[in-house]
Every structure is written in structure tokens, then in C-alpha cells.
Amino acid sequence: MRYLTIYDKTSPIICIDLHKPKRKDIIDSIYYSDKYDLDGFQSNYKNIYTAQFKRTAESSDAVTSQQIAWWDVPKRLSTQEVLILLESLLQRGQDKKKRKMNPTSLANLRPPKPFTSKSRPSKPRKLTDEQLDRALELRSHGCSWRMVGELMKCNFQTVRSSLRRMDEQKPNSYQNIVQLTGDETPSSYHPTFEGRSLR
């Protein structure tokens, strides 16, 4: 049952959602229950006096007809039972023990090696060296990028970016990039003399 309600006679004082209890409500309920010797009701509803309980089917037997279903009947808790339940809620999450890792696992924890120009992750080229040589030959004959893509049966942007990445791996390649691609702005991986990207 989801709710625990503390009553003073027939008036509800505090209702606690046992699925998501609030620490302040738990502390207040412990105080009122202990000081005024109050009982509580555990129920599927916040207020048992206004709740619409699930009932059995109507029948000719007056004892069983339209009675509250057994699984929906509120459970009355004495003051001691209320305090035990509330104390367990108050300690929830505080009795967890810290996880102990295996020393072997700790020994295997090592910082990764820093990236270098050769080991840094990079997107693999989709075109082979032969295809790139063919693209350079077509460009040298005055073909546009779209014409190069059509002749090689691939996206012209793929050809252009592949040539740029290939040329960036060579030192002092900025002028070559401009000649090959016509783009005066290198990609984010292209270094400058100041050690920063031009973008």
C-alpha cells in the first residue's frame, strides 16, 4: 500500500507517500506519533474517509455484497508500528555500504596515452589513393568538382574533403589546399603558425 496517514481521531495530520517519502514529513510524523501516541493507517488512498474503495460485486448475500475488496482494505498500525516503519524510511539509503573494488581492477586503471598527429582518431577516407590521383588528374584538366563527382560516381564533396584531408597530412600544405579545393579556409585540424586553427 502506497500511503501512510497519521490521524488525530478522524482528522488526517500528515500523509506520506511511501514510494517517494519526504524527509521532513517523516520527521514530523515521528514527532507527532511519539508525543501524542497517534495511530496510523496504511492505505492505497491518502484519506480513508473520502476514498472510493474497490468493492466486491453486488449479490444477494448481504455479508459479501458490495464489501471492500480484501486487497484494498486499509491496514491500521499502532504507534509502535508507525514508529518502526518511519524509522526504517528515515534510514533508507544510509545503510548502504561503499562498493569495494578488486585491487586487480584498480591496477588496470591507467590513463590513456595522449593523442598524437599519427594516433589521433580521424574519419577514414572513403576513396583510395588511385581514386584521388584520378580526381587530381581531372581537376588539372579543368573539370569542375561536380563533373569530377559524376565521372567518379560519388559525391563531389567526398572527393574534395578527401583531397583536403590527404593534403593536410603533409607539412606546409596550406597553399596546396587552396589550389586543390579553392577553399581558403582549412579544416579544424589544419595547424597554423600560431598553433591554432584559422576557423
Q: For each of the chain's 199 residues, which pLDDT tens digit applies?
A: 888 988 888 888 889 888 888 888 888 888 888 888 888 888 888 888 888 888 888 888 777 788 888 888 888 888 888 888 888 888 876 666 777 888 888 888 888 888 887 777 777 777 888 888 888 888 888 888 888 888 888 888 888 888 887 776 665 544 554 555 555 444 444 444 444 444 4
pLDDT at 33: 87
On whether residue 107 sits in a domain, the answer given is no
pLDDT at 179: 52
On whether residue 100 sits in a domain, the answer given is no
- Looking at the fold, whether 81 and 127 belong to one and the same domain comes out as no
Range(s) of the domain holding residue 31: 3-90
- Looking at the fold, whether 10 and 78 belong to one and the same domain comes out as yes
Cα atoms in the 13 Å half-sphere on the side-chain side of 155: 5
On whether residue 8 sits in a domain, the answer given is yes
CB-based contacts of 77, cutoff 8 Å, min separation 6: 4, 39, 40, 41, 42, 85
pLDDT at 111: 85
Domain edge (last residue) among 65, 90, 115: 90
pLDDT at 64: 76
- Looking at the fold, whether 20 and 65 belong to one and the same domain comes out as yes
Report CA-CA distances (Å) from 33 to 10, 37, 77. Answer: 15, 5, 11
Contact 85, 3 (CB under 8 A): no
Q: Which of 96, 73, 82 is nearest to 38 (CA)?
A: 82
On whether residue 98 sits in a domain, the answer given is no
3-state secondary structure of 83: helix
Per the structure, how many domains does the chain have?
2
CATH number of the structural domain spanning residue 154: 1.10.10
Taking the alpha carbons at both ends of the chain, their separation in whole angstroms is 61
pLDDT at 169: 64
- Looking at the fold, whether 80 and 138 belong to one and the same domain comes out as no
Report CA-CA distances (Å) from 30 to 36, 81, 83, 88. Answer: 10, 11, 6, 11
Q: Which of 51, 7, 4 is nearest to 26 (CA)?
A: 4
On whether residue 57 sits in a domain, the answer given is yes
Contact 11, 27 (CB under 8 A): no
Please give the DSSP secondary-structure letter assigned to residue 119.
T
On whether residue 113 sits in a domain, the answer given is no
On whether residue 33 sits in a domain, the answer given is yes
Contact 33, 40 (CB under 8 A): yes
On whether residue 10 sits in a domain, the answer given is yes
